[in-house]
Amino acid sequence: MAGGIGTTQIDDIQEKVIGAVRFTLQETVTPIGDAFKTVEASDGQDDTYNSPKLGTVTAYGLTEGVDMAQAQQVTDSNVAVSASEVGVQVVPTRKMLRTVGKDSMMRDLGAIMANAMIVKREGDFATLIDGFGNVVGADGSAATIGQMRAGIAQIRANSEPQTDLAGINVVIHPYTWHDMSAEGRPLAANAPFPGEQTTENFRSRTMPVKVDVDGVPVSLTTNLVTSSTNVRNGITHRDAGLIYIFEAEHLDPEYDASGRWTEMNLIMDYGYGELNDGFGREWDADITAPTS
């Protein structure tokens, strides 16, 4: 059967692939990106986002009949976050699309491309955690619940208060969760491990993907920065860093007649930067693969 790929077929490919891309991006958990403040560009905005930050002032007690004489200057600073493009390309051939089920193939390719983009984004955002100047835990040592609680306490006691004390998130490697579970005591005071009846049967139950510990969301991810057998887990307030989405997912398909394939280029344009170093803690720990 003779056939070719024209404008209608390209539009059909784009619709099916971008639909799968958007569904995957929306439904896939992204704990590292979700831990930081996100700003999406509106029409006409530049690819650099400027986040102004005002300094603090001090309030003083007054005496009746005495003029206020504690004039203070408000200083400001700016954090500029510039976006840059990232992309992934796949090139299914004309014969491949005719041989396998085209519709399902397009949706599978869309999901594969979206997953690649998610891994790239999460890995980029993890470098914010690796850049924090304050560290709890230590390389070569197993993670402990006390280290996590220390990091949370340090952020909440920061000299510059957070606008939302509930905005703290923790992202850890699965091996970190394993080490904490091996401590043989509850993660929450006077309570068993979350979702478990007793601490003793924790090991026989499924490892959670996300759970609240001491009122703080703790999420598992494998996209954190690692160094040999050590990991950079993160304890962060959302205002510790900023993610600027200049352009969300954009798909450009193009058919190459001589090559007999369709180039599918998925592009995103985003940037990220640190806003407040005191609002984040790098949590270092050993992640040697557990054997028991």
Provide the domain count of the chain.
1
Q: What is the pLDDT along the chain (292 residues), one digit of tens a residue?
A: 344 445 556 666 777 788 888 888 888 889 999 999 999 998 888 999 998 887 778 888 888 988 888 888 888 789 999 999 999 999 888 888 777 667 778 888 889 999 999 999 999 999 999 999 999 999 999 999 999 999 999 999 987 766 676 789 999 999 999 888 876 544 444 344 444 434 444 444 445 677 888 788 999 999 999 999 999 999 999 999 999 999 998 888 888 888 888 888 999 999 999 999 999 999 999 999 998 8
Classify residue 225: in a domain, yes or no: yes
Classify residue 291: in a domain, yes or no: no
Quick check: 276 and 55 in contact, CB under 8 A?
no
Instruction: Specify the amino acid at residue 247.
Output: E
Classify residue 34: in a domain, yes or no: yes
The pTM of the full predicted model, rounded to 2 decimals, is: 0.81
Rounded Cα distance, 282 and 132, in Å: 6
Full residue range of the structural domain in which residue 168 is found: 7-53+80-286
Classify residue 58: in a domain, yes or no: no
Both structure tokens of 26: 């929306």
Classify residue 63: in a domain, yes or no: no
Rounded Cα distance, 17 and 22, in Å: 9
- Residue 100 belongs to domain with CATH number: 3.90.1690
Classify residue 124: in a domain, yes or no: yes
Q: Report DSSP letters for 156-216, one per residue.
A: HT-SS--S-TT-EEEEE-HHHHHHHHTT-S-SSTTS-STT-S-STTGGGSPPPSEEEETTE
Classify residue 175: in a domain, yes or no: yes
Both structure tokens of 92: 């299914």
Rounded Cα distance, 101 and 121, in Å: 30
Classify residue 133: in a domain, yes or no: yes
Give how far Cα 8 sits from Cα of 5, 75, 129, 257, Å.
8, 57, 45, 15
